[in-house]
Amino acid sequence: QTTSLRAPWSARGLATALVHVVCLPLCRGVQASPSGSVPAAHGQRRPPGRFKLLSELQHCIVLHVCARRWSGLRREVMATAGSEMREVSRERLAWHDTRATYEGVVEGSESTLMIYPPMANKLYESFRVNAYLEYDKPGEYGDSKTDKFRFVASEQPSAAVRAAAEALAPGDCVRLAWSHDYVTRAGVRQDGGEFTSKSPERVVHSLERLAE
């Protein structure tokens, strides 16, 4: 049995339903007053503050539902950590071959994401693209040309790329080539069912220091 990471319902739709089913009946026909809630007179406009409150409440419900759903998906992914994920397919979306300048290591902002458990910030090797030597975009959704590129060295499959990144100093000129791929992987969950993951990947194929 194969399952994919797709929510069977809309978080925004569920939040809207909750607001209409739970909140609106409580507020219908009620007008704010210093002493409490008093039914509004026939034809009298209700105060806008009530609708602002509902809007803020709906927004909070949407965030809460989305956060819970994402946490559930992340736990499902982590449950497969003990199994080896095998690559099913890889589609090339774009190819970038450039001359670039190394700008050093920059810290990401993963810890600010509203997920649980929280993620630690990653360290990215950052480059300024000076010129393109070759560019190809065979996939409709491939990355366009860019003047900036960064990657996490430890996540790259090539040992040569990881070693080259470690030896760089800010200001070094390099030849940097990477691909933008769409990868499908599969694994086995703890309950024995097959787990499928689809995601984009940017793989560095060449990182070579150049003479200035």
Decide if 86 contacts 196 (C-beta within 8 A): no
Q: Who's near 188: CB < 8 A, 6+ residues apart? A: 80, 83, 194, 195
Which tokens go with 17?
Answer: 């339903």
**pLDDT at 48 (0 to 100):** 54
Burial class (CB in 10 A: 0-12, 13-18, 19+), 138: exposed
Tell me the C-alpha distance between 98 and 134, whole Å.
7
Distance of CA 19 to the CA centre of its chain: 27
Q: Across the beta sheet with 86-107, what order do the strands follow? A: 2-4, 194-210, 173-188, 86-107, 123-136, 148-151
**pLDDT at 36 (0 to 100):** 46
The overall pTM is greater than 0.75: no
The amino acid that residue 172 corresponds to is D
Tell me the C-alpha distance between 176 and 209, whole Å.
9
Q: Who's near 92: CB < 8 A, 6+ residues apart? A: 138, 139, 142, 179, 180, 181
Instruction: Show pLDDT as tens, one digit a residue, over the chain (212 residues).
Output: 444 444 444 555 555 555 554 554 444 444 444 444 445 555 555 555 555 555 666 666 666 666 666 555 555 555 544 557 899 999 999 999 999 999 999 999 999 998 888 899 999 999 999 999 999 999 999 999 999 999 999 999 999 999 999 999 999 999 999 999 999 999 988 788 888 899 999 999 999 999 87
